[in-house]
């Protein structure tokens, strides 16, 4: 039985990943400092003899024995990562160094949950893995964007210098149950506002585009990447290539919730990307992976989750 460490394991993606790994017969160690993670996300797993939770901040070394490491620890929404931008950078950079050091000592295979934000406000569309990005290193989003870029650099340097088995995944917008209701992400914002009968707030004119991947599809891609042949390191895009404008998303959520509410438009935040769409050709070829859950079906599941949460 493989022993797997999931950092950020009590968060949105991490908790879903812990569930999926347990279902596949792995022995799972979940590490999280609970800054944005929530024990409620993993409470139902605590009774399993093959699941263990440790409260830990990966900016400090962690001494455990594992076969695989999924490094997901880092606040991922602007509302959270801009609260303490210095700590955000430390989590991505110092955290990567500590997890890579652990992988080096245990000879574990390690996967880095990188992000589509490393592409910044892109000049090419859709975004392919060989695009170097267009990121403002001085802006309010830079603590997240640039630290994730630096983490990718560290992963490849450890791979070249210490022959570590690394995997790098660039995650595009993902949604589903266990999202934080106040994380500032567009899907959760729109759903929570609709269910509370509040106006839907749109930043900018709403014509900026995003691509939304349901969480079950994303988790499947992460596991497939971890289990892919040793020589394939990535980076690889994981996301849904179906593109939709923010305004269209708001209208779809209002339709699915049965609400009729006004739209409020506010200025676009600094460095907010105008376009975001993954090219997943590499994921199709190397992992035989593509999203299977439609946006409408995924939104229905997510709305049902938030209805229970708000009630």
Domain region containing 283: 3-175+213-240+278-292
Please report whether residue 245 resides in a domain.
Answer: no
Tell me if 258 is assigned to some domain: no
Q: How far apart are CA 16 and CA 116, in angstroms?
A: 20
Residue 201 is assigned to a structural domain of this protein: no
Domain total in the chain = 1
81 catalytically annotated? no
Residue 267 within any structural domain of the chain: no
CATH, residue 65: 3.40.50.720
Q: Which residues contact 52 (CB under 8 A, 6 or more apart)?
A: 28, 29, 30
Taking only the tens of pLDDT, the chain with its 311 residues reads: 899 999 999 999 999 999 999 999 999 999 999 999 999 999 999 999 999 999 999 999 999 999 999 999 999 888 889 999 999 999 999 999 999 999 999 999 999 999 999 999 999 999 999 999 999 999 999 999 999 999 999 999 999 999 999 999 999 999 999 999 888 899 999 999 999 999 999 998 999 999 999 999 999 999 999 999 999 999 999 999 999 999 999 999 999 999 999 999 999 888 788 889 999 999 999 999 999 999 999 999 999 999 999 88
Query: Considering the domain boundaries, does residue 151 fall inside one?
Result: yes
How buried is 256 (Cβ within 10 angstroms: 0-12 exposed, 13-18 middle, 19+ buried)? middle
Confirm whether 301 is domain-assigned: no
For 124, residues 6+ apart whose C-beta sits below 8 A from its C-beta are 131
Could you tell me if residue 149 is inside a domain? yes
> Which is the catalytic residue, given 26, 119, 144, 175?
144
Residue 107 lies in a domain: yes
């Amino acid at each position: 039985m493989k022993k797997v460490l999931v950092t950020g394991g009590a968060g949105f993606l991490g908790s879903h990943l812990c569930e999926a790994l347990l279902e596949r017969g792995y022995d799972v160690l979940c590490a999280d400092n609970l800054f944005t993670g929530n024990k409620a996300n993993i409470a139902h797993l605590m009774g399993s003899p093959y699941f263990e939770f440790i409260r830990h901040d990966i900016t400090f070394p962690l001494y455990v024995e594992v076969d695989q490491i999924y490094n997901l620890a880092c606040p991922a929404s602007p509302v959270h990562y801009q609260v303490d931008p210095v700590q955000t950078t430390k989590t991505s950079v110092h955290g990567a160094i500590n997890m890579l050091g652990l992988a080096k000592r245990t000879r574990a295979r390690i996967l880095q949950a990188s992000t589509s934000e490393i592409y910044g406000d892109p000049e090419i569309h859709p975004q392919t893995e060989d695009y170097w990005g267009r990121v403002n290193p001085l802006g309010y989003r830079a603590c997240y964007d640039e630290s994730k870029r630096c983490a990718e650099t560290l992963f490849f340097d450890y791979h070249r210098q210490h022959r570590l088995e690394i995997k790098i995944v660039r995650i595009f917008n993902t949604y589903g149950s266990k999202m934080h209701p106040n994380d500032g992400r567009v899907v959760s914002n729109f759903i929570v506002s609709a269910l509370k009968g509040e106006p839907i707030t749109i930043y900018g004119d709403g014509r900026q585009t995003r691509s939304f991947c349901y969480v079950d599809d994303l988790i499947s891609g992460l596991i497939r990447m971890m289990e892919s042949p040793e020589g394939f390191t990535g980076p690889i895009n994981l996301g849904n290539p179906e593109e939709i404008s923010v305004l269209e998303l708001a209208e779809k959520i209002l339709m699915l919730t049965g609400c009729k509410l006004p739209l409020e438009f506010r200025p676009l935040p600094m460095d907010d990307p105008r376009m975001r769409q993954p090219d997943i050709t590499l994921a199709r070829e190397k992992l035989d992976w593509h999203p299977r859950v439609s946006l409408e079906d995924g939104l229905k599941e997510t709305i049902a989750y938030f209805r229970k949460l708000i009630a």
